[in-house]
Amino acid sequence: MINHGIQYSSVRPTEIEMTDKFVFVAKNITPYEKEVEGHQINGFQYEYIQYTKDEYMIAQNIKIDALEEELSAAKILLGVD
C-alpha cells in the first residue's frame, strides 16, 4: 500500500479505480475553494491510496469480517437469529 496523502483535483475523482495490477482509492472527498492571484479556484480534496490487487482484497476481507462480527453482536442484542 502506498498512501499518496492529500491530493487536489479540479474534477471529482473516482472513488475506486482498477488497473491490471493496482487499485486506487480516493476517500474523504470534499469540495474546496481557494483564491490564487485574484482567481477563485474550485475543486476537490481527497486522500489517495494505492494498493496492489492482493492488498486490496485482503483489506476488503478484513472489513467484511469486522462487519460480520458487528452484525452478529447486533443480532444477539436484538435477540434475532
Spans of all domains in the chain: 2-78
For 5-16, the pLDDT digits (tens) are 999 999 999 999
Q: How far are the Cα atoms of 5, 37, 49, 77 from residue 30, in angstroms, in the given order? A: 14, 23, 16, 36
Mean pLDDT of 36-42: 91
- Is residue 80's pLDDT more than 90? no
Dihedral of CA 69/25/11/33: which sign?
Answer: positive
* Residue 58: predicted pLDDT: 97
pLDDT (mean) for 11-24: 97
Is 81's pLDDT higher than 80? no
Residue 58 grid cell: 485482503
Q: What confidence tier does 36 reach under pLDDT thresholds 50, 70, 90? A: confident
